[in-house]
Amino acid sequence: MTREVDLFVIGAGSGGVRAARIAAGHGASVMIAEEFRFGGTCVIRGCVPKKLLVLASRFADAFDEARSFGWQLDAPRFDWATLREAKEREISRLEGIYRRNLENARVEAVASRATLAGPDTVRIETTGEIIRAGRILIATGGTPFRPDIPGAELAVTSNEIFDLPALPASIVIEGGGFIAVEFGCLLARLGVKVCVVYRGTQIMRGFDDDLREHLASAMRAHGIEILTQTELKAIERKEDGYRVALSSGESRDTGLVMLATGRLPKTDGLGLEAAGVATGAKGAITVTPDSRTNVPTIWAVGDVTNRLALTPIAIREGHAFADTEFGGKPWTCDHHDVPAAVFSTPEIGTVGLTETHARERHGAIAIYRSTFRPMHNVLSDAPERMLMKLVVDVATDRVLGVHICGPDAAEMVQVAGIAIKMGATKAQFDATVALHPSAAEELVTMRTPVT
Ligand code: NDP
């Protein structure tokens, strides 16, 4: 006899787990299937382990700075295996918490791949069991995209980089987005010679232009090579590493190649055709703002929908779905003014409109910009400056965007995001008393627009 549940969730990452727990809390019978590890990209091979690696890498700068503050240090040594194992213990701990939270919520968790067998049926691939579900939620996330070049399979992606047996002496990273700059910066600080190869004219397309320039020059000042308007044409294995052919006609020998060329929605072999689920660009599942697909019994949340590929967005989309469908409390996830961080070093924090977007949409805008040396650089010779920028609508005085590049940018922008969401004006920023001495005080003390 076919078992029946109110909700079947495919994929136990951030969005799927939240949806399953909330729906169960509303009284629904819920099953969730996961083919890899519970926790999804964020916990297992994304945000969490990446931030641990970033924190590890920043000790390199701290050791240098410490000397100018009077500390005498023997030459510190870094051991990758220690960090890799500590990281693994932490993500295993988190994975356990995810599983326990599901159990506590009385969600039946199945460690298996699951596919759609029809509009209201799911097949558990390890057992062949068919489950009938009142509603199905697809939360399968994304997977790294590899450009179609000879030797692409020789490169690692963000799936493999966390568990390298040893760090290479050098790496060529293709891409100029989140993953390329985050890994470029952290690996450089862990002692790897980094070359970033990017096809466009400036890294971090879509971010405010001042941030992009500031970050690129800070990365170069740290010894990271950035080749723009360049692509990898081929990767070949050599005795002691790899040789990459570049579109410039040059070739490079390197210890490792990483592709950070974007991610694609993970829908391969999911049975979307069997259920009649429509997809759009990049194979993403097409959804309405409340995460409905074209099939009335099937919803989708998170990276598989290719809206905003960020963990807190997937969580909200999953929560909104569960409250709406099982809790009688309809709401949708708002995708506007979402704060975002890039954990490069220096770090980027950004919320709201870039200068370019603001000019397109609002016409007259005022720009407030400040660069300065953060206090912990003052005693050392570190030349690195911090950038802060406010984009203000002249007609309404509303602050449309806050963009920061420098230490703790993410922490500052999380808080500035509240003001942006509330529609704060520049006058209200100005009326806020500065907290001295801090870097963040610059956000409320910039008085003269630069344009
Ligand atoms: P991104 O979209 O950020 O960057 C992809 C990069 O690869 C871009 O520079 C893009 O160039 C380039 N690229 C794409 N296709 C090709 C190709 N065929 N050949 C050469 N270059 C190519 O993706 P990531 O993989 O870095 O990260 C995926 C997503 O994960 C991010 O967009 C983000 O949503 C999320 N993420 C968030 C993080 C955070 O919140 N801190 C951290 C890591 C990931 P172009 O600019 O020209 O398109």
- Tell me the CA–centroid distance for residue 142 and ligand 1, in Å: 12
Query: How many residues are listed for the chain in this entry?
Result: 451
Alpha carbon 151 to its chain centroid, in Å, reads: 26
* Atom 14 of ligand 1, residue of closest alpha carbon: 261
Nearest to 105 by CA among 2, 4, 1, 7: 7
User: Is 436 a catalytic site residue?
Assistant: yes
Per-residue pLDDT in tens (0 to 9) along the chain, 451 residues: 689 999 999 999 999 999 999 999 999 999 999 999 999 999 999 999 999 999 999 999 999 999 999 999 999 999 999 999 999 999 999 999 999 999 999 999 999 999 999 999 999 999 999 999 999 999 999 999 999 999 999 999 999 999 999 999 999 999 999 999 999 999 999 999 999 999 999 999 999 999 999 999 999 999 999 999 999 999 999 999 999 999 999 999 999 999 999 999 999 999 999 999 999 999 999 999 999 999 999 999 999 999 999 999 999 999 999 999 999 999 999 999 999 999 999 999 999 999 999 999 998 999 999 999 998 888 887 889 999 999 999 999 999 999 999 999 999 999 999 999 999 999 999 999 999 999 999 999 999 999 8
Residue bearing the CA closest to ligand 1, atom 39? 342
Q: How many CB atoms lie within 10 A of CB 45?
A: 22
Out of 173, 199, 233, give the residue to mutate to test ligand 1, the one with the largest number of ligand atoms within 8 Å of its CB: 199
Tokens at 372, concatenated: 């300065």
State how far the Cα of 25 lies from the Cα of 326, in Å rounded to an integer. 9
Which residue has its alpha carbon closest to ligand 1 atom 23? 262
Atom number in ligand 1 closest to CA 158: 25
Give 228 Cα–ligand 1 centroid separation in angstroms. Answer: 15
Q: What is the pTM assigned to this prediction?
A: 0.97
Neighbours of 99 (CB within 10 A): 19
* Domains annotated on the chain, with CATH: 3-143+264-326 (3.50.50.60), 152-261 (3.50.50.60), 340-444 (3.30.390.30)
The three-point CA angle 34-38-44 to 5° equals: 120
In the structure, which protein residues have their CB atom closer than 6 angstroms to any atom of ligand 1? 147, 174-180, 182, 198-200, 205, 231, 260-263, 309-310, 340-343
User: Cα–Cα distance between 9 and 7 in angstroms, integer?
Assistant: 6
Q: State the CB neighbour count (10 A cutoff) for residue 238.
A: 10
Nearest Cα to Cα of residue 80 among 342, 256, 219, 262: 256
Amino acid occupying residue 334: D
Q: What atom of ligand 1 comes closest to residue 47's alpha carbon?
A: 42
